[in-house]
Structure 1
Amino acid sequence: MTNSVYKVMQERKSVRKYDPGFKISADELRTILLEATSAPSSSNLQPWRFLVIQDEAKKKDLRKIANNQEQIETASAVIAVLGDTKMYEKTEEIYMKNVAEGHMEHERAALLIQNAQNLYPQLPEEILTNIATFDAGLISMQIMLLAKEHGYDTVPMGGFDKVKFAEYFNLEENVKPMLLISIGKGTAPAYGSSRLDIDDITTFI
């Protein structure tokens, strides 16, 4: 297979050595995030939120609460993927935009809005967090693949103190830190890695 999606998937590796002098513009980072928002989400409620950290002092502080991972400080930016457990508050905005853009009829949108507003606010915090976590994973992979297509390297990081992160960046209680993604220009090739045999992990019934 030589199509571009497969090629990007194979070329994307977790890179931990970056050129600290290389900078990606805020406009290009915004473009990558915009492109990534085509990812699916539960009821299309798009619970992902982003904090793009470029300030050198803040990256230095973040490194201290992210297990001293070098790439936090040397990459061009760190994209913090966050999850909003009150994602349902944007239900009407999202579905009315669907109507305005011609994706669905008003009656259908009104029914979906009612269903979502009846369901989501009643769910336990744990379930809402699980939904936001799952959807954050979907968009995070798209961010990394798109970054590679733009010519940049990335590494996802779940190893950080989420409580201290939320405190440092003064996150609202309903906004949960999910994942950090360092993005920049790699200076050393990533290690290759093996995969389990597909026949060992797949069952056809």
Structure 2
Amino acid sequence: MSNTTATQTQSPSYKEVALGRRSVRVYDPSFKISREELTELFQEALRAPSTANGQPWRFLVIDSQPVKEKLLPIANNQQQIVDASAVIAVLGDMESYKLLETVFSRSVELGYMPEATKETLLPNYTKLFSSLPAEQMKKVLYIDGGLVSMQLMLSAKARGYDTVPMGGFDGAKLVEAFGISERYVPIMLIAIGKAAKEGHPTARLTADEVVNWNEFTL
């Protein structure tokens, strides 16, 4: 009988993922993440919370080298654009309320929501979001887009990948170059791949310096 034991890969703890995540800007250009695995990563990220469960996030994944080259000048010629396995453009849907029927109906079918609740909430939320001023709706999109982006980056780290969120790009040029309609608001770009150089650690304020209890005294 062989005494050899199979080596098992242990998933990192949440603490290891949260403390180990770094913003990586130097990537191994030969490392590729398959679309299948990226899709699985998105399935995890899409569990992020959103306003009224509206899930207003939309994504453009750029994994073709010629298309990354097209994106490069739009993102201020940051090298990670072309060296990362993929770049994810996170967009917010100004008309995401049009899919509330789908979301709520699916919740009813799965037994997560009574039909009566759907019949009450759907018209109320549809009226609310369809009548919001554009700037107020954009605030909702930025908040929800930030939530899903953070979850995506943590999911990536848990799988052994590296990421960096990028605000340094021209949103107007992005929508023009990729034919994105005015319905969608660019929120951020996220480069994802394998680090060729680890992201450097950064100093952080302590909890005592930023947290108040019951009254704001800072």
TM-score, structure 1 normalization: 0.97
SS state at 2:153 partner = helix
Q: CA deviation at 1:30?
A: 0.9
CA distance in 1, matches of 2:108, 2:42: 23
Q: What runs of 5+ residues in structure 2 fail to find an aligned partner?
A: 1-11
| TM-score with structure 2 setting the length | 0.91
Aligned-residue Cα RMSD (Å) equals 0.9
Deviation at 1:199, TM superposition (A): 1.6
Partner of 1:97: 106
Pairing 1:155–2:164 present: yes
Paired with 1:186 and 1:198, the residues of 2 have a C-alpha distance of 29
**Corresponding residue for residue 15 of structure 1:** 24
Match of 1:135 in 2: 144
Shift of 1:33: 0.7
For the pair shown, the structure with the greater C-alpha radius of gyration is: 2
Partner SS, residue 156 of structure 2:
helix
Give the alignment partner of residue 119 of structure 2, picking from 110, 118, 125. Answer: 110
For 1:117 and 1:180, how far apart are their aligned partners in 2? 29
| Shift, 1:112, TM fit | 0.9
1:70 aligns to what? 79
Q: Which amino acid aligns with 1:78?
A: V
Runs of 4+ in 1 over 3 A off after TM superposition: none
Are positions 1:186 and 2:195 aligned together?
A: yes
2:128 to 109, 119, 139: 119
Aligned-partner residue type, residue 99 of structure 2: K
**Residues in 1 aligned to 2:206 and 2:161: alpha-carbon distance in whole angstroms:** 29
Match of 1:202 in 2: 211
Alignment length (residue pairs): 203
| 1:198 Cα deviation from its structure 2 partner | 1.8
